[in-house]
């Protein structure tokens, strides 16, 4: 199977997961974390822009594009139906503030890079800064949701996370095929694969223990 087919299939899985997730929100079977979804909305959108600017292929752009658009829809819906998006827990506040800080750093570095302000000798360092901030930002964005799911697994549903885990597995495979081996581009799908798999496993285990359906 070619990288393009794998990437498109991963994007379709992503959309399917969001469709299921949205239906569970409407039925109030899920209580989305507003802070994490706000960070997902701007974070995934910026990731798509950065990938597009780096001339990533359609195979690698399809899932981030689907994720960015869907995250924005979920974030807007969640923020409209919550009293306050500002987290109450101190660790969640720190996570949000640190995520904004990392985003400002890699956006500023990217701006300097694309405008030729950073010299060629400094380009490798700039790429490393962007890559590090970008991937640490995945953890900061997920932290409020991970803490919520760990303490209150009933607030999420396993099936969307199972589907999204499958989507990131396909994107990891697509990236491997696209670049012909392992590279820094695989950090994004691999980290997301691990985080989504944890949430899927934790919520699925809880539901099964409670005698609830995974669907």
Please write the tens of the pLDDT for every residue from 103-116. 998 888 888 877 77
If you average pLDDT over every residue of the chain, what do you get? 89
Q: Which residue has the higher pLDDT, 190 or 56?
A: 190
Question: What pLDDT is recorded for position 121?
Answer: 66
Residue 61 to residue 49: CA distance in whole angstroms = 9
Residues 42-93: tens digit of each pLDDT: 999 988 888 887 778 888 899 999 999 999 999 999 998 887 778 888 999 9
Spatial CA neighbour of 185 closest among 174, 196, 195, 194: 174
Rounded to whole angstroms, how far apart are CA atoms 131 and 184?
A: 8
Please spell the DSSP secondary structure of 22-67, one letter per residue: HHHHHTT-----HHHHHHHHHHHHHHHHHHHHTT--HHHHHHHHHH
Q: Alpha-carbon Rg of the chain, whole angstroms?
A: 17
What are 138's two structure tokens?
Answer: 């995945």
The pLDDT tens digits of the residues spanning 97-151 come to 999 999 998 888 888 877 777 766 677 777 778 778 888 899 999 999 999 999 9
Lookup: tokens for 82: 């919550």
Q: In the chain, pLDDT over 90 holds for what percent of residues?
A: 58
- pLDDT bracket for residue 189 (50, 70, 90): very high
Q: What is the pLDDT of residue 24?
A: 92
Provide the Cα torsion 122, 61, 25, 195; round to 10°. Answer: -50
């Amino acid at each position: 199977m070619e990288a393009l087919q794998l990437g498109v299939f991963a994007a379709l899985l992503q959309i399917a997961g969001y469709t299921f997730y949205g239906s569970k929100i409407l039925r109030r079977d899920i209580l989305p974390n507003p802070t994490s979804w706000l960070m997902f909305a701007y974070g995934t959108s910026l990731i798509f822009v950065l990938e597009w600017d780096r001339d990533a292929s359609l195979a690698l752009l399809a899932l981030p594009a689907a994720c960015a658009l869907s995250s924005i829809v979920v974030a807007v819906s969640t923020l409209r139906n919550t009293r306050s998006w500002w987290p109450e827990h101190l660790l969640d506040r720190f996570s949000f503030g640190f995520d904004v800080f990392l985003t400002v750093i890699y956006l500023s570095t990217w701006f300097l890079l694309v405008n030729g302000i950073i010299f060629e000798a400094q380009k490798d360092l700039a790429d490393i800064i962007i890559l590090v901030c970008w991937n640490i930002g995945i953890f900061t964005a997920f932290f409020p949701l991970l803490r919520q799911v760990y303490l209150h697994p009933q607030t999420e549903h396993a099936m969307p996370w199972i589907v999204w885990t499958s989507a990131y597995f396909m994107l990891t495979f697509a990236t491997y095929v696209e670049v012909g081996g392992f590279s820094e581009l695989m950090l994004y799908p691999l980290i997301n694969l691990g985080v989504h798999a944890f949430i899927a496993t934790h919520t699925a285990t809880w539901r099964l223990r409670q005698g609830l359906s995974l669907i």
